[in-house]
Amino acid sequence: MQITESVTVHAPLHEVFERIRDLDRASDTIGGISRIEVLEGPARMEVGTRWRETRRMMGQDATEEMWVVELVEDSHYVVEAQSNGARYTSGYRVAPVGTAHGEATRLTMSFSAEPLTRSARVMSVLMRPMARMMASQCRKDLLDIKASVEG
């Protein structure tokens, strides 16, 4: 499963990037996140930062441990997680956008799931109908970030 969603944020690129890498503010910025627990590294993400993120999904709390595998300042970062026989990769990318209203930033979120075990491959087929729900959640996260930054 692969998902990519984008939104235009009417704020400078550096401001948007600093917001999305700040784990201390993540649960205030993104409504779907109920709790963050930083395990290793600084709360201002860098390669190697590791944390547990709890979200409410389909009426249940779901907690995943994630870690930053790539980060380029004011450009992008990539996060990985492994759970239930699958590897999950997600990331954010920022790019400048010129608009009639001044400086803006294109914020893109990507998500992919790669099954690593036979049972995970079977589940990935069964979970395909959930791709639309996952895309909707990604879009909501982006809109939450946009609202938080534009304030």
Q: What is the mean pLDDT of residues 111-136?
A: 75
pTM: 0.88
Q: What is the pLDDT of residues 65-86, one digit of tens each?
A: 999 999 999 999 999 999 878 8
Cβ atoms of 63 and 83 within 8 Å: the answer is no
Q: Under 8 Å CB-to-CB from 118, ≥6 apart: which residues?
A: none
pLDDT on residue 119: 76
Would you state the structure tokens that stand for residue 61, as one six-digit string? 């709390």
Domains annotated for the chain, with CATH where assigned, are 2-150 (3.30.530.20)
Q: What are the b/e assignments for 46-80, b being 16+ CB within 10 Å?
A: eeebebebbbeeeeeeeeeebbbeebeebebbbbe
pLDDT on residue 99: 66
| Residue 128, pLDDT above cutoff 70 | no
Maximal CA-CA distance, the chain: 51
